[in-house]
Amino acid sequence: MAYQSVDKLQKALVKNVFHYAKDSKKAAGRALGTLVEIITYYLAKTWGLNNQISIEKGLEEYGNPDITHNVEFSLHPIVRSSFLTIEKTTATITASHILKELEKKKYNLKGFATKNNPLLKDGVLRNACTIGMDTDRFLLCSIKSDNGKKLVLHIFEQSHKPYAVFECKRVGVEEGMKKGPQTIEKAKQGAYVARTASSLQKIRNESGELYGIIYKSDGTYIIKPFVQLMEEVIASNDKELLRRFILTVGVVSNHGNWFTSANQNKELKVLAQSYDWLLFLTDKGLAQFIEKLLFKPSKKYQPIRDAFISSYTATKKKNQFTKVQMNIEADKLLLEYFRKNIKTIEGWFNIISPNGKKLVTLQKELDELKNKNWTDILK
């Protein structure tokens, strides 16, 4: 690895990409945060969760729905799905156009309000594109295949209530400082959302052991050691345990900012005891992504670099390298790269909590939740 730390990577980004910016280090730091989100998103897609993902949707607090929090990614049960073939006559595919085509096919759109999101515009794809909403469902669309003349679209409805959420947290280090001034505030923000999202709540006894408590609709409750209770809820088919349960996953990066080699900083401890799962994206993993796809890509992956560079220049017209908007060619190549290198990419992550768990266990838990009979659970 050419760069031994994220700080050196950030300096390389300053030199090679963001030299034009007034605060080039801060601009490079924001870009690194975007890359953490992109890596998390394409990992989830590679795990087979594409149709379950929504981006930046409002998450209601458990028992307190008046307060909502936007989260990077939420995973939702699928209510209904179908396919739609349309002619590729223009460079822009709008939500209105897709909905009109659905109406021609007698797709029941009663109750849905149109969202003004283009699925595709000038070669830029909108990820997890929401084209309609009603009181308890999101209507989304993605591209299943493209033969140049026709698009096959996957239309799917998600329940508003998610069964899992992902949040990404990263804070850059200013020159001459040991950690960013907002680090603890971002840690607290993430911890608050993680602790208020789910019916499975965390409590501690006097000796500091972490327990979980989950209430049923009749007011009765179960208290057990937290990880044990979490595993039991995920494995269960009990509607009372699952209907308000949300698995919370945090993804953090930057070793020097979140903890030293000798011990964890307070910020990381706050996050580790708040999220059900806390993943650490290593410096090595982030460096590999940047070197192989952004700094020194093979000819095949050059469009990924081109999309990144065009999004972060002084004369940029439109950002086409974010979790929300991605150049369509870069999207195809990122999916291919992740599929071909999934074992290596999974090795980019360390598990901070639950202690002793492996990433494959999280994948299995997400898969188990995805395959629950949510129509019966949520009715």
Among 246, 365, 322, smallest CA distance to 40 is for 322
Residue 309 has pLDDT above 80, yes or no: yes
pLDDT band at 3 (very low <50, low <70, confident <90, very high): low
Whole-structure pTM value? 0.92
Q: Which one is predicted more confidently, 72 or 284?
A: 72
CA distance 138 to 134: 7
User: pLDDT at residue 135 above 50?
Assistant: yes
Q: CA torsion angle for 65, 68, 72, 75 (degrees, to 10)?
A: 10
Helix residue ranges per DSSP H, 47-164: 95-104
User: Rounded to an integer, what is the distance from CA 201 to the centroid of its chain?
Assistant: 22
| Tokens 């993605």 belong to residue | 142
**What digits encode the pLDDT tens for the residues 169-187?**
875 455 555 555 456 777 8
Q: Which has the closest alpha carbon to 163: 236, 268, 264, 260?
A: 236
Average pLDDT over residues 102-118: 94
250's torsion region: left (phi>0), alpha (psi -120 to 50) or beta? Answer: beta
Query: Would you state the pLDDT for residue 262?
Result: 42
- The identity of residue 96, as a single letter, is S
pLDDT over threshold 60, residue 209: yes
List, in sequence order, the alpha helices (H) in 132-249: 183-196, 226-235, 239-242
pLDDT for 257 beyond 70: no
Q: What is the pLDDT of residues 330-364, one digit of tens each?
A: 999 999 999 999 999 999 999 999 999 999 999 99
**Residue 113 one-letter amino acid:** A
Q: CA 114: distance to chain centroid?
A: 24
Q: Span 261-266, mean pLDDT?
A: 58
- Res 179: pLDDT: 52
The reply to whether omega before 162 is within 30° of 0 (cis) is no
Q: What is the 3-state secondary structure (H, E, C) of 13-80?
A: HHHHCCCCCCCHHHHHHHHHHHHHHHHHHHHHHHCCCHHHEEEEEEEEECCEEEEEEEEEEEECCEEE
Could you count the other beta carbons within 10 Å of the beta carbon of residue 15?
11
Q: Could you count the other beta carbons within 10 Å of the beta carbon of residue 12?
A: 17
58 or 258: which carries more pLDDT confidence? 58
Whether the predicted pLDDT of 256 surpasses 60:
no
Strand, coil or helix: 375: helix
pLDDT of residue 261: 39
Sort 134 into a burial class: Cβ within 10 Å, 0-12 / 13-18 / 19+: middle
